Amino acid sequence: MCGIFGIVTNREQGLGPVLTDAARRLSYRGYDSVGCATFHADHSVDLRKDKGKVDEVASRLGFAEMTGTRGITQLRWATFGTPSTINAQPHFDSDGDLVGAHNGNVVNNVELRLQFAAEGMTVRSENDGESCVHAVERWFDRGFDMVESIRRAYGDLQGDYAFVIGHVGEDKLYAIKKGSGLVVGLTDDTTCVSSDLPSILPLTRRILRIHDGEIAILSPGSVELVRVADGEAIQRDPEEIVETMEAAQKGGYPHFMLKEIHEQPQVARELLHLLDASVDVAGYVEKMRKARHLYLVACGTSYHACMLGAVYLARLAGRAAVPVLAPQFIAQYGPALGPEDVGVFVSQSGETKDVLNALNVARERGVEVLSLVNVIGSTLMVTADRCLPLACGYEISVPATKTFLNQVVAFLYLAMRMGGHPTAMLYDLPRLIEATLQQVEPQIPALEQALLPWHDTYCLGYGATYPIALEGALKLKEVTYIHCEGMLSTEFKHGPLSAVSDAYPVIFVAGPENVPLIVSGINEVSCRGGRTIIIGEEDPRLRANGHDLLVLPKSGPLFSPILGILPLQLLAYRVSVAKGFDPDFPRNLSKTLTVD
C-alpha cells in the first residue's frame, strides 16, 4: 500500500519540507522506501530516493534543501522488486524528461518490462512504478501529447493503481486513477494530489475526489478533469473537508480495525490480479504438487488460514497437506523431515520468531521452503526459496483481518491451480465480500447485546467452517477479552456442553453442505436454554432451529467459509467498542511477535 503526493506551484520555491511533511503524513499506510523529485524552471529534475524511513532518508539525502516549481514524493510498500534504492520511487523514463510514481499493483509488470526493454527503453528497476512511467513514454515518444499518452498507457497497465507523472517542459502534473485512491487539493496558487487526505489537509481543505478512469491535469491553483474513455472534459465542483487529521488517516472510520475490515474486497481483488499475473505461481504450485509431505506452518491467525488452506487443497487438488503450529512443527515433524518435503510458511509480518525457528529447522533438513507473506523484504520473504506476496498493504490494527482473508484467498487460488480448475470464478469473491459486509453489518448491533453480559462463550464450526470458528473465537478473545473457545461443533457435546445455561450464547458457523450436523449442535444448545447465533446462508432448517441467523449471500461451499469470517470480525469489533476498549491496540498484544 504505497502513498503518493504531488504538488504544482506558481514559482520556484523550497518544496523539500512540504514533500517531506506530506510523506510523514502518509507513513501510517506502511512503507519500506521513500523518494522525492522536484522539477525546476530550467527543465532539470532533482531526484533523491532510498530504502528506509522518511526522517532517516530525508536527513541523509537532504530533502529539506530541495527546491522547484513542482514536486512528487512517494512511499513504497514493496510488491514488485525488493526494497532498494533502484526500486524506490519516483522513477525517470529512459532519457529523464518524464518523472512519475505510483500507488497500487500493475500486475502485468513483468511482461511490460520485457516489452519496454525490447522497444529500446532503459529499464532500471523491477518496480511497477517504473512501468507506469515507461507506459506513458511509449506513446509520448511517438508524438502524442501527455493526456493522450496517459489515456493509451491506461489500456496497457493492468491492475489497480493510481499514478502521478510530470514532463520537464511543462508546468503541470498529471494524475490517473484506476482502483487506488486519489484526491486533489486546491488553493489559490497551488494544486496538490495524493493517495488520500492526510497529506493534503495541512495545505488546504478544498478538495476534489478523483474517480476511476479519470485523469487530473494539475496546474498552479486549478485542475482539469478528463475522462479516459473518450477524452472528454468532466465538470465537478470541489468540496470543503471538515474531517480531523486522525479521521482522515482512518478514512472516516472510527478505528483502523473497521477500516481494514472494509478494505477486504479491494485487497482480495488486488491479490487475485497479482496471482493471475505472477510468473512465480506455476513453479510454486509444482513444488507443492511434488512434495512427499506438504506442511503448512504458521502461528495464530495465519495458522487458521493454513487449516482452511488444507481443506481447499484436499477438496480441489486431492492433495493432503498438514497444517501445523510452528513450534509444534519442530517437535512433531522435525526429526522426520527430508529433502523431498515442502513447507509453506505463512506470516503477515514475515518476522514471527516461532515461524522463523521452524523454517530454520526445515532448512537444516533440506526441506523446500515456500512462503506466503505480506511484508516484502521481511526475513521470511528473503529466506524462502519461493515467496508469494499477500498484497494487503499495511495493516495497522493489531488484530489481523484483511491479512487473514488474503491468506485464505491465496490458498484457495493455489488449490484451484493445483487441481486444474479455472480461477476466473474467484473474481466473484470480492463482490460477495462487499455484499456480505453490506448485508450483515446492520444486524450486528442487536447481537452484540447477547454477548455483552457474558465473560465466556463458544464459536463452533464443522469442516471448512471449523477454522473460521477458531479465527472468530480468536478475534473475540483479542479485542473483547471475552474468553471465546473455538471448537469443532461435533466435539461440543463431549464435555463443553455443560457450560450452557439460560441465555448462554453459542455461535455456529454453518457451511451450506453441513447444515444437518450444525442443526444437531444447535438443538443440543437450544434445548438446554442457550441462545444460538448462527452464521450461514439462508436455509429454513437454520432459521427454524436457531435463535438468530446472520444471513450470508448464496455462494456455495468454497466461498461461504470465507464470507463467514466477516460477521465474526464485525461482531468482535462492535463488542470491543461497546465495552469501551480500543480494538486497534488490545492489551498485552503486539502486531509482530519476535520473541520465542
The span from the CA of 170 to the CA of 263, in Å, is: 37
Q: Which of 402, 349, 374 is closest to 595 using CA atoms?
A: 349
> Vertex 392, ends 201 and 151: CA angle to 5°?
65
Structural contact between residues 97 and 59, judged by C-beta atoms closer than 8 angstroms: no
Q: CB-based contacts of 339: which residues, under 8 Å, 6+ apart?
A: 365, 366, 367, 368
Structural contact between residues 132 and 157, judged by C-beta atoms closer than 8 angstroms: yes
**334 φ, ψ to 5°?**
-50, -50
User: CA dist 314 to 311, 431, 550, Å?
Assistant: 5, 26, 28
Q: What is the helix, strand, coil percentage profile of the chain, to 5?
A: 40, 25, 35
Cα 469 to chain centroid distance, Å, stands at 22
Give the max Cα distance, the chain: 82
The span from the CA of 267 to the CA of 262, in Å, is: 10
Active site residue 392: no
Active site residue 2: yes
Cα 51 to chain centroid distance, Å, stands at 21
The beta strand positions in 290-429, using DSSP E, are 294-298, 322-325, 342-347, 368-373, 386-389
- Residue 457 burial (CB < 10 Å; 0-12/13-18/19+)? buried
Residue 465 grid coordinates: 467452517
Q: How many CB atoms lie within 10 A of CB 453?
A: 8
Instruction: Tell me whether the omega of the peptide bond preceding residue 90 falls within 30 degrees of 0, making it cis.
Output: yes
The span from the CA of 576 to the CA of 195, in Å, is: 30
- Point out which residues pair with 535 in neighbouring strands: 509, 550
**326 φ, ψ to 5°?**
-55, -45
The span from the CA of 53 to the CA of 34, in Å, is: 7
Query: Catalytic pick from 53, 353, 579, 591?
Result: 591
Residues serving a catalytic function are: 2, 591
